[in-house]
């Protein structure tokens, strides 16, 4: 079962990859959604254990991130004062009194079950996958309308959440941030229920609000894609790979020789490098960094 994470998230892989991927949002209803990988009870235990720390945990409201000083208490570790460990009582008080949303960041880096899900999905799609968990009090909105620099699979764990997904950016010069302008009518306006999965294509503006009498918990799997800056960085690394040059040539002749060797190696690499290879190298490097 765990070897087929993509099917467990999207149900029909062919329909997802051919009809939905990068083109339109949709609600998916897989037979075996991976809701068991991280439950609200698991998060409650994590809060009680006292090892959750900033930036892996944050508290957010629609228009603000709460300062960590409001939910972290100092403790002494190896004789040094540490101030970034979350206190479970303070977190619960802010959820109760100020309707703050709990945001667990990069869960794939520190939770075994979520790591297996993210890596399995990333291996199937050939891209870096990161995971974020949201616990939102009833009737509240944790984040404003925004665009993510990733395709998103939002797995509803418990409770219900109303999502509005709008269109994508007009061109390739967009930035992933809150959207204060007119995003147009929603392409999809739906209430997500436990076990359902929402797919949001990269860059499509969206917002969500918890509805009903219970908190909403969902796990967002963000599927990262290569950006131009990633291509630049990887190309630079490839063009200089294996070239051992003196750090500070002593005279003009040595400087000229270093420049010639650098250009010769770069031309040789460029003759072999294709756009497809550069993209795949970059995707692979991003996954290794995850």
| Residues 128 and 283 sit within 8 Å (Cβ to Cβ) | yes
CA angle 27, 32, 33 (to 5 degrees): 50
Nearest to 107 by CA among 58, 67, 72: 58
Evaluate if pTM is beyond 0.75. yes
Euclidean distance between CA atoms 16 and 160, whole angstroms: 23
Residue with tokens 């270093």: 258
Query: How far is C-alpha 249 from the chain's CA centre?
Result: 44
Q: What is the pLDDT along the chain (290 residues), one digit of tens a residue?
A: 446 999 999 999 999 999 999 999 999 999 999 999 999 999 999 999 999 999 999 999 877 899 999 999 999 999 999 999 999 999 999 999 999 999 999 999 999 999 999 999 999 999 999 999 999 999 998 788 999 999 999 999 999 999 999 999 888 887 888 888 888 899 999 999 999 999 999 999 999 999 999 999 999 999 998 888 888 888 888 877 767 888 888 999 999 998 888 888 888 888 888 889 889 989 888 887 55
3-state secondary structure of 67: coil
Domain residue ranges in the chain: 5-41+101-224, 228-289
Name residues whose C-beta falls within 8 Å of residue 149's C-beta, 6 or more positions apart in sequence.
Answer: 176, 202, 203, 224, 225, 227
Q: Is the dihedral of CA 106, 285, 17, 189 positive or negative?
A: positive
* CB contact at 8 A, 8 and 30: yes
CATH 3.30.420.40 given to domain 5-41+101-224 = no
Helix, strand, coil tally for the chain in percent (to 5): 35, 25, 40
């Amino acid at each position: 079962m765990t070897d087929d994470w993509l099917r467990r998230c999207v149900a029909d892989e062919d329909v997802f990859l051919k009809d939905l991927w990068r083109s339109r949002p949709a609600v998916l209803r897989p037979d075996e959604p991976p809701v068991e990988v991280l439950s609200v009870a698991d998060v409650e235990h994590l809060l009680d254990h006292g090892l959750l720390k900033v930036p892996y945990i944050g508290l957010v409201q629609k228009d603000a991130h709460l300062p960590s000083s409001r939910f972290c208490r100092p403790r002494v570790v190896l004789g040094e004062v540490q101030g970034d460990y979350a206190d479970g009582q303070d977190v619960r008080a802010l959820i109760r009194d100020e309707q703050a949303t709990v945001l667990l960041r990069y869960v794939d880096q520190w939770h075994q079950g979520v790591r297996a899900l993210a890596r399995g999905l990333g291996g199937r799609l050939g891209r870096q996958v990161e995971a974020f968990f949201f616990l939102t009090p009833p009737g509240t909105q944790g984040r404003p309308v925004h665009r993510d620099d990733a395709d998103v699979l939002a797995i509803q764990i418990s409770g219900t959440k109303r999502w509005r997904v709008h269109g994508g950016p007009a061109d390739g010069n967009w930035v992933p941030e809150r959207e204060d302008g007119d995003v147009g009518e929603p392409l999809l306006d739906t209430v997500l229920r436990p076990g359902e999965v929402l797919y949001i294509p990269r860059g499509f503006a969206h917002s969500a609000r918890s509805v009903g009498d219970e908190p909403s918990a969902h796990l967002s799997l963000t599927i990262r894609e290569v950006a131009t800056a990633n291509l630049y960085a990887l190309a630079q690394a490839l063009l200089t790979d294996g070239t051992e040059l003196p750090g500070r040539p002593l005279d003009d002749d040595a400087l000229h020789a270093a420049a010639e060797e650098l250009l010769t190696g770069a031309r040789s690499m460029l003759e072999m490098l294709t756009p497809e290879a550069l993209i795949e190298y970059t995707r692979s490097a991003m996954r290794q960094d995850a």
